[in-house]
Amino acid sequence: MECYNRTSFVTVADYELALPIKHSPLIVSGGVGENIEFELFMIDNYDARVFCFDFTNKSKRYIAPHLNENLSLVEKGLSNNKSFTYFQIPDHVPVCSTSEFNCHENNRPGYASSTISCVSIDDIINEYNYIDILKIDIEGSEYGLLSELTSSDHIGQICGEFHSYRLSDIGQEEDAELIQYLISLGYTFKCTDTDHQIYLFYKGDNV
């Protein structure tokens, strides 16, 4: 897949966003783990309103001291499985990453299966109406989640890490299909990190 070149972007932590970014954007951030550098930057520089979705105990403990009127935590996962889905929860291991798929890092002792309440793309659109930036690092759930997006009317930009390179359940074909699907909805695609499959989808050349 060709990576597009464009100069009007800003780098925030490991991600790129298309400019301009309006004041006080609404951001939904899925799978924050123990790193909210992106979220805090957007709050400090754009007065963003950020809703973090993460259910892991380590993430909840990490985020708790930072919660305020601009930063909220929703203790649910993001997935196209709208009610419950199985994620692999780390137990006494020094990582936060969890997955509903057979992620390579989860095939080791210390991980246990658990049932987690999740919300779909329709759920978050119904809740927030318009999302300026959807940031996701949800360990493979991005494919099912975004495949249920039916238009670009309610999400301005989508940035995140896409995990086909490390999931046995999802391959490069599914990755390419999702990219083409989001392009068909009116998004422009930009690959911002080929090694880690960090992508940006934004609307038009004059965002």
Residue with tokens 């929860």: 89
pLDDT tens digits, residue range 105-134? 445 555 666 778 899 999 999 999 999 999
Q: Is residue 4 part of a domain?
A: no
pLDDT exceeds cutoff 90 at 47: yes
Domain containing 197: what range?
9-202
Q: Is residue 207 part of a domain?
A: no
Total domains in the chain come to 1
- The single-letter code of the amino acid at 159 is C
Measured CA to CA, the distance from residue 66 to residue 33 in angstroms comes to 13
Q: Is residue 2 part of a domain?
A: no
CATH number at residue 129: 3.40.50.150
Phi, psi for residue 40 in degrees, rounded to 5: -70, -35
Q: Is residue 119 part of a domain?
A: yes
State mean pLDDT over 8-21.
95
Measured CA to CA, the distance from residue 42 to residue 137 in angstroms comes to 17
Of 58, 55, 62, 50, whose CA–CA distance to 25 is shortest?
50
Q: How many residues does the structure list for the chain?
A: 207
Of 62, 81, 71, whose CA–CA distance to 29 is shortest?
71
Q: Is residue 162 part of a domain?
A: yes
Q: Is residue 3 part of a domain?
A: no
pLDDT tens digits, residue range 65-108? 999 999 999 999 898 886 555 555 555 666 666 666 654 444 55
**Stretch among 32-36, 61-65, 112-116, 173-177 having the lowest mean pLDDT:** 112-116
Q: Is the peptide bond between 20 and the residue preceding it cis, with omega within 30 degrees of 0?
A: yes
Q: Categorize the per-residue pLDDT at 22 as very low, low, confident or very high, splitting at 50, 70 and 90.
A: very high
**Stretch among 18-32, 125-139, 159-173 having the lowest mean pLDDT:** 159-173
Q: Is residue 157 part of a domain?
A: yes
pLDDT at 99: 66
Three-state secondary-structure class, residue 169: coil
pLDDT at 204: 74
**Mean pLDDT over the full length of the chain:** 84
Phi, psi for residue 29 in degrees, rounded to 5: -120, 115
pLDDT exceeds cutoff 90 at 160: yes
Q: Is residue 1 part of a domain?
A: no
